[in-house]
Amino acid sequence: MATYATLSDAIHYEIITPVGERAHHFNINAIAERLIYWHHDINAHGNTNLNRSGFRVRTNVDFWKLVQANAL
């Protein structure tokens, strides 16, 4: 599972790239709100590992169904 430092990177690689040249036909922000979340990586001592934390994609979401539901 990829972890991204910025929301923009996550949106680009996980939404815009797969949708391709038709990305402008979809509400990308709405897709991102439901698909991408911030992950905190916690070590054994209960501390956050900032170098392993970042934006990730939810695995329990049907990507293409979400894209279709957010057509403009």
51-60 pLDDT per residue, tens: 889 999 999 9
1-45 pLDDT per residue, tens: 799 999 999 999 999 999 999 999 999 999 999 999 999 989 899
What does 24-47 look like in DSSP terms, one character per residue?
Answer: GGB-HHHHHHHHEEEE--B-TTS-
Which token pair is 64? 């293409």
d(CA 7, CA 54): 9
Place of tokens 């990308």: 28
What pTM value is reported for the model? Answer: 0.88
C-beta of residue 19 within 8 angstroms of C-beta of residue 72: no
Domain ranges of the chain: 3-69
